[in-house]
Each structure stands twice: as structure tokens, then as C-alpha cells.
Amino acid sequence: MQRNEIIDFLKNRVELFRGFDTARLEQLLDGSRATTFEQSEAVIEFGSRGHFLGVLLDGELSVSVVDDEGIRRELGRIEAGRIFGEMALMTGDRTMADVVCLVRCEVLLIPDAVFMATVMTTPDAVMQLSRLLTDRAKQVAYDQNRRGLADRAEVQDADPHGFALQSRRPHLLLVVNCGSSSLKYSLFDTDRPADRAEGIVERIGDDARHRTGGETVSVSCATHEEAFHLMVADLIAKKRIRSAADITAVGHRVVHGGEQFSAAAVIDDAVAGQIGELTALAPLHNPVNLKGIELARAAFPAAVHVAVFDTTFHHTLPPYAYLYGLPYRYYEKRGVRRYGFHGTSHAYVSLRAAQFLKRPYNSLEIVTCHLGSGASVCAVDHGRSVDTSMGFTPTAGLLMGTRSGDVDPGALAFIAQQDNLDGAALDSLVNRRSGLLGISGISNDMRELEAAAANGEHRALLAIKTFCYTLRKYIGAYVAAMQGIDAVVFTGGIGENSAGVRYLACQGLACMGIAIDEAKNKEACGRAEPVDISAADSRVKVLVVPTDESLMIARDTLQAVEREMARTDGMGQAKIPLEVSAHHVHLSAAHVALLFGEGHRLTPVSELSQPGQFACAEKVDLIGPKGTVKNVRVLGPDRAETQVEISMTEQFKLGIHPPIRESGDLAGTPGLRLAGPAGTVELDKGVICAMRHIHMSPHDALTMGLRDRYVVRVVVEGDRELVFGDVMVRVSPAYRLAMHIDTDEANAAGIGGDAVGHIESIQSRA
């Protein structure tokens, strides 16, 4: 079709564009592409990300999916004049079907950015799309079935976690890591993300040097401000930018985000102020990070600046994992608790591991070992950090190059008294003179220690052994913390390069299903891509995954920038009613029969707020190893698998310890006994504490700029404002807008029946 024919076609044949004037359609066509596909060719493949809206100009398309039995089922047909691809485009989900040409087809492909700029800014079109989205979504089997499909789509996606930096608009993203005497930088072009420019200015103020593009040169650089000039000059010399004004966004690594920051934050004066206030918790790092932010805001005034914190990934630690056995007031008044660090690296390598293993991220139990000059271990349970070895400071956990790691606090008090050390001297002892250096007396560098140990230096060997033994204990502890394990991941200078450390750390863990293949392990050093080093019979995958904190910061920065765009477009202000979910049970049909008698049908007594769901007259008792919770209501209709949702306090009463999970995600959860009038059922799994969640329709999601499975923060209005982090968004046409929280939480926060909340920010995108 010619251009004017396409314009006529869009105006007269495509419902979505009826209200568009010619100028707007011209604008739309300028950024779009009309193209031809042959018979049987796929226009969209199952599992791909939605990057365009399609309009069928001529021909006919078939929409189909392969079911669990491997049989292809046709879901429907698309005729000329219809649009397609809108689901994936608007929900952010991967495409859940194949769209294939039945005959030769002519198609108009409207890219994401053009779609956002033209269609999504037209209120009538947004209304139409949301109606269409609701109708289409109903055709796809939702909820339980959809989860399986979404998981399959995730693992087939070449870039499930956004590391290809695909964005609605092109960006030049600068990642800045400002240390006490260094400035490290990386520049990413979202059009060519693999081709980044990097450099570091080191020893600022003292014999400075600039390393970039494989070269190191001595430079005159007395201050961080001068280092910024060197960086900009370098990027201009490399023709990556024409001037500082080309940079559209800057991602800043910030060490400490305290309890305030549960996500990357767009920096304004208030955020900069808060980062400054956190200096009390990170006196060595936050001031210099803040200095970098101030210099960058002056150097790149038009760019969006984003702080990406080392601590945010660990925001999901439960209180029993982050509290110390100190008087509670130290936590309340002084913020003394475990925060954890290296979060960017733990998040990155765990995501990469899931991608490498072709498994859904939220289904895995992973222990990540970041072993560099600083070292920490993290338990990543279904995509959430639930424990980590660093604590209030980065000194805790594993012994490191010069940091002690865990030491009996009584021993430190003893040393301080004996040697008359004040706080600063003690701090210096445990941070600068301990760890590998302290034990070996030779070096803090693992390479040098390995060489010394090979030469028979007894204390070098002892330092390595102590390091690996501590690491092995942490791995074992985190298997216990997560009650299972699918993968162990090694990263960081030591983790990526020392086969000896990996071998010693995993030695004897075959009892947990962890075994490495020594030949593969030896070969796995210094690679750019993840490597599987597990033995053939190892139940658990052992991987070496090179970390890339700059890329992770770039990804988080890009996501924060896009969120900010959505926010300034006025999205996200809808009021969300809060509902308190009391404990309840969903039963499978087989369990209904066992508990209430063969042939028994559940008796609905009242509708629940979510359409199709109802509370039943039936109740069951929950019997745990320690105690019983009586008369827990059954909710209908019945489900494929029995699921019991209890509150936090009931855990103690029952004597079981279920994880926080999404509804339906029951792998590895504990069981208990259910007792009904006709009999009992012994569950071997199925008990969860439900993750906070918001139910919403596709239309709600669209107008709030959210997508299914986003994790958000919600502000609840009231006498005092409360912020709930870690709230999972679930989108389905069957849902009515409501946020569900646990009874205990509602009681603790004094939330009554008519409370409402609104979205404060998006924490992450699953």
C-alpha cells in the first residue's frame, strides 16, 4: 500500500484511529514501518517482548499457542483492519501466543516509542485499548494457567531481565561510581548497549592516573571536580558524546540507602538531603557518593540523576534476619540492624543465573557468593534477598582482604580493653589489618596467597582455608534459611577466578546436592559469560557468573527514568482501597472430598470482592506440630492445589515457618494437617504467608502506568502516613482494584476498614 492509502485505511478501517486527524496519522507513519510477511511466517513469536503495535493492512493472521501436551491450539484469527500485539506492549508481559500468517500479509508495525507518543496520548484511544485489553485477556486462561504460560514465556525470552537496555526513547546513560580517591565511569548508549565506554581516574590528589580503553596515563588531578572534567574530555575524545549536554541520564552508585530507599531513586534536593543524612550509617562512603552527585548535577544539569543503592536489594530481609540480639532501642533509635551490601551484584548475578538456567527467576532458591576484596554471601529466595552476610557495616560475614568478617563481639571488647583501643583504632583493626592479611601476615590478595601457599607458607594456606570454611558454612546456613537450594553462584575477583576457592567452598556439600566437576571448575576462570561447573550428578547447579554492576546500575537507572516519565505524565494517583485478608484455605476438589465427604459441594455464603470468588460455610482446623488454629474459613471455588494462607503470628502458634510467597507459588513450602468433619488431610506443602498484593484490572494498570508482577510501594493515608514496600501488582480482567494486606500488619498499623492507598513508586519489575 502507498502512504496515502495507508492513511485512508487507518482512518476508515481501524477503529482505534477513527478520531485521529491526518497530521497525527502522518506523525504515526513517520516512525512506523509497513512490511510484508509470507504465508506461514511468524509476525510475533511466543515469549517475545512487545516492542510494537501491529495493524494488519491486508491478509489474515492466526493466533495460536502450544498447550502442555504439546498440541497447537488456535485461539483466534485476525482480519485486515484489526490491531495486534497490544497486550504485550501495554502489559509488559511477554507475548503469550504465536501470530502467524495464513496467507501473505501486509502489516504496519508501530514501534513502542511512537505508540506511546501518539496513541497513548489520545484519551479515546486509551479507553478503547483498555476495553480491548480486557476482552482479549479474558480469552487467555488467566491466573493458574497463565502463570505457567508466563513462566514459559520468561524462559524463552532472550532478555527477560532488561539487560539489553531496551527503552522507549534512546538514552545516553552515564554510570558513575565515586570513591574516596577515584571516579569510575561507564557510558551506555541504549541503541548499542554492548558497546560501552569505560574509564577510571584513580589516586585523585596523589599521583593521579587515568585508565581508559586499555591505556593508563599519569594526569594532574587534585580534586573530584577535575576528575569529572577528565571523564567528559575522554568521552568527547572517544566521540561518544559531543558535549556534556548529550548525556540524558546519570546513574550514581550510592553505598547506603538505609531503611528509606527500597528502590533506585530519582535524585532531587530532598533525595540528595536524605543521602546526606545517611552519612551517620556510612561515614566513609555516602559523603563521597553525595559529592559525586553534586558534581554530576552541576556538570549534567539537563540529565535525570538516579541513585542506585548497594542496600536496596536486601530490603526484603525479614526482621528476624536483620535484627541483632541487642536492646531493641538500638534498632529503633540508631538504626542498628543488618542492612547488607553488594546488593547490585547479588541481584545481577542471580538474575543472570536464572536467565542462564532458563528458569523463572521467581521460582529459584539461589545462594550468591560475591567474593572480591570485599566479600559477601546472599540467600535469594524466589527473587527476594532473605539473608546476607554483611551487616550494619560491610565488615561482617566472611573474612575479606583486610576486613575481619564475623568476630565474637566479646573478643573485640576484650581486645579494646587489653590494648587500650578507642573506637577509631578498633575500627581500623577490623577493617584494615584483619581478614586474609591479618591471618596470613603476607597479603590481602588472594592471588599472592595462593602462590605463597603453593610455596609452603603455612599461614597463607591457613588464611585461604579459613576463608573457604567460613564460606562453606554460610552456604549451608542459607540452604537452611531458604529450606532448599537450586543454584550456587560464584562471582567477584576471587569467585570468578579462583578455582581453588570454589573447590574448597563446595567440598563436602554433596550431602546438600552440591557437587562440582573439577575439570569444568578449572576451566571456568576469567570468562565473560556464565559457566556451569556442576558435576553431572549434582542436583544443584553451581555457576560462575561474572558480575557487572555498571550494567545493573544502568538498567535500574533506565527503569527509574521511565518510571519518572510515567509519573510526570500524571499516572499513578488512583486511590486503592485496602482490604485485610484474614487467614483462609483454598482446597483442591480431592481435599474437599476427604475433609467434607465424597461428593460434597462447597457452600457459598458470601461473594468476595474479587469476582468469582466466594467465602464458604465450610471451615477446617489447621494442626501444626506445636498448636492448632481452629475454624479457618474455606474460600471457593476449588483450585488445582490446596493452599493455606496464615498470618505471621499464627506461624508461632502452629510451629511452622512458611515463606512469604505469591499465591500459587507453593514449591518448597511447608505443609500441616487439615481436619474437617469427614476426615483429615496431611499436606506435604502448601502453607504460605501471602505476599502483599494489589488486584487490578488491565484498565487500572494502564492508567497507573503499572504492569502485571511489578513490585511497588504504596502510601496509605491516615493519621500518620505509612508506606508499604514489596507489594506485588497482579493484573487480570477478573480483578477489582484492592490491596490485600495481612491481618497482623493491619492491626499493627491501626488500619481500619475504609483505608485507601496510592502508588508511591515502582520498586522492581519481576
* Catalytically annotated residues: 310
Q: Output phi, psi for 43, to 5 deg.
A: -85, -40
What is the grid cell recorded at 441?
A: 601476615
Scanning 350-358, 406-414, 441-449, 452-460 for contacts with ligand AMP by CB under 6 A, the matching segment is: 441-449
Phi-psi map region of 284: left, alpha, beta (phi>0 left; psi -120 to 50 alpha): alpha
Could you give the angle at which helices 224-237 and 286-299 cross, rounded to 10 degrees? 50
Q: How far is the CB of 492 from ligand AMP (least distance, A)?
A: 4
Taking CB under 6 A as the rule, does residue 493 contact ligand AMP?
A: yes
The CB-of-486 to ligand AMP minimum distance in angstroms stands at 25
Query: Per rule CB under 6 A, is residue 492 in the interface with ligand AMP?
Result: yes
Q: Which is nearer to ligand AMP, 50 or 495 (CB)?
A: 495
Give the range of 271-279, 348-356, 439-447, 717-725 binding ligand AMP by CB under 6 A.
Answer: 439-447
How many whole angstroms separate alpha carbon 760 and alpha carbon 766?
18
CA distance 131 to 510: 54
Q: How far is the CB of 400 from ligand AMP (least distance, A)?
A: 9
CB of 606 to ligand AMP, least distance (A): 58
Q: Which helix (H) or strand (E) holds 514?
A: none
Alpha helical stretches, state H, 612-679: 648-654
Q: With CB under 6 A as the contact rule, which of the stretches 176-184, 325-333, 440-448, 619-627 interacts with ligand AMP?
A: 440-448
CB of 337 to ligand AMP, least distance (A): 26
Q: Residue 256 in contact with residue 281, Cβ under 8 Å?
A: yes
The residue from 401, 636, 671, 705 that contacts ligand AMP (CB under 6 A) is 401
| b/e per residue 598-608 (b: at least 16 CB within 10 A) | eebebeeeeeb
Shortest separation between residue 428's beta carbon and ligand AMP, angstroms: 20
> Which among 40-48, 314-322, 326-334, 492-500 is the span making contact with ligand AMP, rule CB under 6 A?
492-500
Per the listing, cell 546476607 goes with: 388
Taking CB under 6 A as the criterion, which residues in 448-477 touch ligand AMP? 450
Task: Count the residues of the shown chain that bind ligand AMP, applying the rule CB under 6 A.
Answer: 12
Instruction: Burial-class residue 749 by CB neighbours within 10 Å (0-12, 13-18, 19+).
Output: middle
**By CB under 6 A, residue 446 contacts ligand AMP:** yes
C-beta closer to ligand AMP: residue 522 or 630: 522
**DSSP assigned state of 161:** T
- Using the rule CB under 6 A, is 522 a contact of ligand AMP? no
First-residue to last-residue Cα distance in the chain: 40
Q: What CA dihedral angle connects 708, 64, 103 and 110, to 10 degrees? A: 0
Residue 238, interface with ligand AMP (CB under 6 A)?
no
Give the residue, chosen from 160, 258, 372, 705, that forms a contact with ligand AMP under the rule CB under 6 A: 372
Q: Applying CB under 6 A, which part among 148-156, 274-282, 487-495, 666-674 lies near ligand AMP?
A: 487-495
Choice between 401 and 572, CB closer to ligand AMP: 401
Q: Should residue 54 be labelled a site residue for ligand AMP when binding is judged by CB under 6 A? A: no
Q: Please report how close the Cβ of residue 401 comes to ligand AMP at its closest, in angstroms.
A: 6
Q: Which of 259, 448 has the CB closer to ligand AMP?
A: 448
Distances from the Cα of 400 to the Cαs of 279, 340, 444, 467, 504, in angstroms? Answer: 23, 15, 8, 8, 16
Query: Does 445 interact with ligand AMP (rule: CB under 6 A)?
Result: yes
Q: Which is nearer to ligand AMP, 371 or 475 (CB)?
A: 371
Q: Confirm or reject binding of residue 398 to ligand AMP (CB under 6 A).
A: no
Q: Radius of gyration (Cα) for the chain, nearest Å? A: 28
Q: What is the DSSP letter of 281?
A: T
- Which residues in 189-218 contact ligand AMP (CB under 6 A)? none
Within 283-335, residue ranges assigned H as helices are: 286-299, 319-322, 328-334
The rounded distance, in Å, linking the Cα atoms of 649 and 114 is 50
Residue with smaller CB distance to ligand AMP, 344 or 651: 344
Which residues fall within 8 angstroms of residue 374, CB to CB, at 6 or more apart? 341, 342, 394, 400, 401, 403
Is residue 65 a contact residue for ligand AMP (CB under 6 A)?
A: no
DSSP string, 228-256: HHHHHHHHHHTTS-SSGGG--EEEEEES-
**Cβ closer to ligand AMP: 544 or 714?**
544
Applying CB under 6 A, among 494, 533, 635, 660 the residue interacting with ligand AMP is: 494
Is the peptide bond prior to 637 cis by the omega test (within 30 degrees of 0)?
A: yes
497 binds ligand AMP (CB under 6 A): yes
- The residue within the footprint of ligand AMP, chosen from 73, 138, 203, 447 (CB under 6 A), is 447
Residues that bind ligand AMP (CB under 6 A): 372-373, 401, 445-447, 450, 492-494, 497-498
